[in-house]
Chains A and B, each alone.
Chain A
Amino acid sequence: MALRADNITKKFGDSTVINGFSHEFTDGSFTCIMGASGCGKTTLMNILLGVITPDSGTVTGNTVRMSAVFQEDRLCENLSALSNLRLVMRGKPDRALIETELAAVGLTDCADKPVRDLSGGMKRRIALLRALLAEYEILFLDEPFKGLDDATKQTVMEYCRQKTAGRTVILITHDKSEAVFFGGETIILE
């Protein structure tokens, strides 16, 4: 069942952040939501995720299993990178498999390091990896490549494109090049 937003409105105080947003995110589609900072991209994502209730309008199709890279990393700082990934994976996944995935995003030898000892860019990649390795029907990515240098960003974006091929993905970004790279539909919030 496709994820569908109908006439969503959200206000914070006197400020209307989302005004009558409607869209259907079809299964297997890649959608970029773009807009300037503070235009309500993250609020919209949280409404679609069911974390925030809209003032009016409805969201349907969000009862399926979802995965996300949040605006903040939301990692367990005292756990190792490996444990953070295992936390969201079913059963006790093979260590070698996780290490291969870590190496694919340039995080070789990071598996046993506590996340608190890693740099911002490394944490971001673990947050992205966590979202990609979890089971999901719909994947939300809220600026997943922020804080990465150009070369790493290119590698990680390529990895992300391979991993999400044919899946329902909603990417939130203010970087036009990311939207161009992934293709798909682009929605611009004003």
Chain B
Amino acid sequence: MKLSDKAKKRLFTVCAVVFWIGVWQAAAMIINKSLILASPVEVIERLFTLVPEKSFFPSILFSLSKIMLGFLLGTVTGVLFAVLAGKLVFFERLFSPLITAVKAVPVASFTILALIWITSSDLSVLITFLIAVPVVYSNVFEGFRAFDPKLTIMADIFHISPLRRFVGIYLSQIMPYFRSAVKLAVGLCWKSGVAAEVIGTPKGSIGEKLYNSKVYLETADLFAWTLVIIILSLITEKAILLIVDIAAKRIEKL
């Protein structure tokens, strides 16, 4: 039986994952102290005991809603800023120092500062917003810079209507940059959002669970919740990219 290139690639990815889980299991067996390094088997076992707990899904829902709200607001703002900067140099110069500053400031500094302004339950919304804005802005703005002005001349010659011009020419050019931005931003939002929750420990969040596992030295819990975060990050990334790809396909077919 001959495997297609796609199937081969998938098989290789599965093998790579299995290999690294094997390395993890071997390391845990060598150390032989679950307090320092819980084994994959222990983590999965712990995960199965966590799932039926009353607070498991509410914690997921809490963090998911806050992080996704921040991501969404950040994406909209980032696109809006990029459109303004792409159209007028004035905005590009105005936003440049702000974006550079937001990019450079550590998440911890923002989190501590934000705790003075807002309640800890809304903390992850603000932090993920601040993470998403520069990522989306930079990528979408790059798309504007890469735009070939000769296409505008082409559109003028052919008398292409403003709507078709916007969707067919501008949006279709920007879409690949927007996709990269979204892909990058989702993962970063989960990382920073949960980190902010660990510092602010809002009640009923995944961050609080991670914090408690650190306080009570429950390494298996820490790993199990980390696994949950990875799964959530992957699911949200795939779901958002699916929506973006469907939109891109619709644009492609005009």
Q: Which chain B residues lie closer than 8 Å to A65 at the CB level? A: 159
Q: Which chain A residues lie closer than 8 Å to B248 at the CB level? A: 78
- CB-based contact A67/B252 at 8 Å: no
Interface of A, helix, strand, loop or mixed by DSSP: loop
Complex CA distance for A70 and B157, rounded to whole angstroms: 11
Q: Please judge, given known A-B contacts A67-B157, A83-B253, A88-B160, whether A76 and B172 are in contact too, CB under 8 Å.
A: yes
Chain B residues numbered 145-203 whose CB sits less than 8 Å from any CB in chain A: 148, 150-151, 153-154, 157-160, 164, 168-169, 172-173, 175-176
Most chain B CB within 10 A, of A67, A82, A83, is at A83
CB of A96 within 8 A of chain B?
no
- 16 A-B contacts, Cβ less than 8 Å apart? A70-B154, A72-B150, A74-B151, A78-B175, A78-B176, A78-B251, A79-B168, A79-B172, A79-B254, A80-B254, A83-B253, A83-B254, A87-B164, A87-B169, A87-B254, A114-B252
Residues of B in contact (CB 8 Å), total 21
- CB-based contact B160/A79 at 8 Å: no
Chain A residues numbered 61-109 whose CB sits less than 8 Å from any CB in chain B: 65-68, 70, 72, 74, 76-80, 82-83, 86-88
Complex CA distance for A175 and B56, rounded to whole angstroms: 74
Q: Which chain B residues lie closer than 8 Å to A80 at the CB level? A: 252-254
Residue in chain B with minimal CB distance to A86? B254
- CB-based contact A79/B158 at 8 Å: no
Chain B residues numbered 213-254 whose CB sits less than 8 Å from any CB in chain A: 248, 251-254
Residue in chain A with minimal CB distance to B151? A74
Q: How far is the CB of A123 from chain B (nearest CB, A)?
A: 13
Number of A-B pairs, beta carbon distance below 8 Å: 56
Complex CA distance for A51 and B151, rounded to whole angstroms: 13
- CB-based contact B150/A83 at 8 Å: no
Complex CA distance for A78 and B158, rounded to whole angstroms: 19
- CB-based contact A49/B176 at 8 Å: no
Complex CA distance for A82 and B154, rounded to whole angstroms: 17
CB of A134 within 8 A of chain B?
yes
- CB-based contact B160/A87 at 8 Å: yes
Most chain B CB within 10 A, of A68, A74, A76, is at A76
Q: Which chain B residues lie closer than 8 Å to A76 at the CB level? A: 151, 168-169, 172-173
- CB-based contact B252/A78 at 8 Å: yes
